[in-house]
Amino acid sequence: MSNQSNSFSTPLSDEIITNIDQLNLPITQKQHIRLLAHCLAIFKEISKNETSTFTEDELLREWCVKKSQKFNDKSFNKIFYEQMSSAAKKLNSFSKTIKKNFNELDLEDLILLVAQDRAN
């Protein structure tokens, strides 16, 4: 296995990771929550302002380019951006549904979102 994949750090605290791991949910739902939590932390880091939605598309695109350079794979950046953008849209939509500021979403909100996805 390449060391490249080990060079990424996570924006999630050990406490959040532990809280997710202790949820009484199937592993796939825990992983979904973990991925959304990771994306949300990145979006908050990228935007660093008090907007109700994450609309910093150009900032996200630049962030993805910077992070994907580690892989020396031009197609990866496009897929990476599409996936991150998809997560941003999902979180934006959900924050509007629950009438909560995007930057105020927390772990409990992500658990609710994944539970709603599972019910649909």
In a domain, residue 6? The reply is: no
Global pTM reads: 0.79
Q: Which domain holds residue 40?
A: 11-119
Please give the pLDDT value at position 118. 80
Q: How many domains does the chain have?
A: 1
In a domain, residue 5? The reply is: no
Alpha-helical runs (H) found in the chain: 14-21, 27-47, 57-68, 74-97, 107-119
In a domain, residue 4? The reply is: no
Task: Tell me what the mean pLDDT of segment 24-31 comes to.
Answer: 93
- 40, 108, 89, 83 alpha-carbon torsion, rounded to 10°: 60
> What CA–CA distance (Å, rounded) separates 42 from 6?
18
pLDDT in tens, 59-103: 888 888 888 888 888 788 889 899 999 999 999 999 999 999 888
In a domain, residue 30? The reply is: yes
pLDDT in tens, 45-59: 888 755 555 667 888
Q: What is the CB neighbour count within 10 angstroms for residue 23? A: 13
In a domain, residue 90? The reply is: yes
